[in-house]
Chains A and B, each alone.
Chain A
Amino acid sequence: MKSATRNYDTLALLGACSLFLSTLEFLIPKPIPFMRLGLANLPILVSLCFLSPGQIISLTVIKIVGQGLVNGTLFSYVFLFSAAGSFASSLVMLVSYRFFKKSLSLVGIGILGSLASNGAQLFISRYLLFGESAWLLAPPFLTLGTVTALILGLFAEGFTASSRWVARQVALFKEGSS
């Protein structure tokens, strides 16, 4: 089945992009390294329009596992953060894409995803790593996450609008589901 392999392949490609972005993010020195910028969500944001929800979840899993393997954090708390944040974010983005596509662009969806991700991570850091002082982190990280999401959203909007590659994927997707 050609289209199945094609999807498999595209997923892998997107996963690799995500991996690249998350490695990039990991290398940027940050005061508190757990709260991440969410750069690796960009491929998910971009592919909302041509992947099915199931595929988006698969992509999320690929993203999480790939990150864990490359950054060497597979067995640690960081993995837990990563997983929780990514799932929260992807679910929120899926839901908002599905139901609010008309009133939200990728910018809004991206920001919602970032809020979900950071929210989940704040909860986990409160209970596992930092204790009460975790809430002190909330304002700066929510701000940073929102700003990053804004920029990524704008980029994603621009890219999906003018990219031939994306257009091709959308066409393939429509073709596959009819």
Chain B
Amino acid sequence: MKLKKGDWAVLFLALSLIAATAVPVYRRSGREAHLVLEAPGLTEVYSLSVSREIRVPGPLGETVVVIDNGTVRVKDSPCRDKLCVFSGTLNNAGEWTACLPNKVFVKLVGKGEEEVDEVSY
């Protein structure tokens, strides 16, 4: 059985496609962060790849957190000053914001990072 020249080319193509899909996928999942929400009695984790609106219940009411195109921001919160809403967007692992009056913690945690540091209110 003879393999023709083109066959080797095709084989090479196949191998490069495999490599091409393997490298970014495995690298990206290493760097990708996910959203961790903490509130009294509740810990939730969300992937950044699906845009959605999340309501986090706290003692004062619901804090609304929005995932939009891979970024996170607080859309609304029942606190008086709304510092959390104005603190801007979270983009990368390690960034965080919080609504202290409502006791809601919003942070982006990367893969491989350890648990949330202890924070005292």
Interfacial residues, chain A to chain B (CB-CB below 8 A): 100, 102-105, 107-108, 111-112, 115, 131-132, 135-136, 138-139, 142-143, 146, 150, 153-154, 157-158, 161
Q: Which of B9, B17, B49 contacts A108 (CB 8 A)?
A: B9
CB distance A154 to B25 under 8 Å? no
Partner of B47, one of A103, A108, A132: A132
| Interface residue? B80 (CB, 8 A) | no
What residues of chain B have their CB less than 8 Å away from a CB belonging to chain A? 1-7, 9-11, 13-15, 17-18, 21-22, 25, 29, 47, 49-50
Pairwise interchain contact A112-B21, C-beta atoms closer than 8 A = no
What is the CB-to-nearest-CB distance from B11 to chain A, in angstroms, rounded to a whole number?
7
Can you give 5 A-B contacts (C-beta < 8 A)? A102-B6, A104-B6, A104-B7, A131-B49, A142-B18
Q: Which residues of A contact B3 (CB under 8 A)?
A: 105, 107-108
Contact A131 B50 (CB under 8 A): yes
Q: Which of A104, A139, A146 contacts B25 (CB under 8 A)?
A: A139
Find out whether the CB atom of B22 lies under 8 angstroms from the CB atom of A139: yes
Q: Which listed residue, B1, B22, B25, B29, touches A157 by the CB 8 Å rule?
A: B1
Q: Is the interface of A mostly helix, strand, loop or mixed?
A: helix
Task: State the CA gap A111–B3 with chains docked (Å).
Answer: 13
Residue from A108, A143, A154 in contact with B4 in the complex, judged by beta carbons closer than 8 Å: A108
Give chain B residues whose Cβ lies under 8 Å from the Cβ of A112: 10
A142:B29 contact, CB within 8 angstroms: no
A112 to B11, CA, bound (A): 9
User: B14 and A111: CB pair below 8 A?
Assistant: yes
The docked-state distance in angstroms from the alpha carbon of A117 to that of B2 is 25
Residues of A within 8 A of B13 (CB): 115
A158 and B1 within 8 A (CB): yes
Cβ contact of A138, chosen from B1, B14, B25, B49, cutoff 8 A: B25
> Across the interface, do A138 and B22 meet the contact criterion of CB distance under 8 Å?
yes
17 other A-B residue contacts (CB within 8 Å) besides A107-B3, A112-B10, A146-B14 = A102-B4, A103-B5, A105-B3, A107-B7, A107-B10, A108-B4, A108-B7, A115-B14, A115-B17, A135-B21, A135-B25, A136-B25, A138-B21, A139-B21, A146-B11, A150-B11, A161-B1
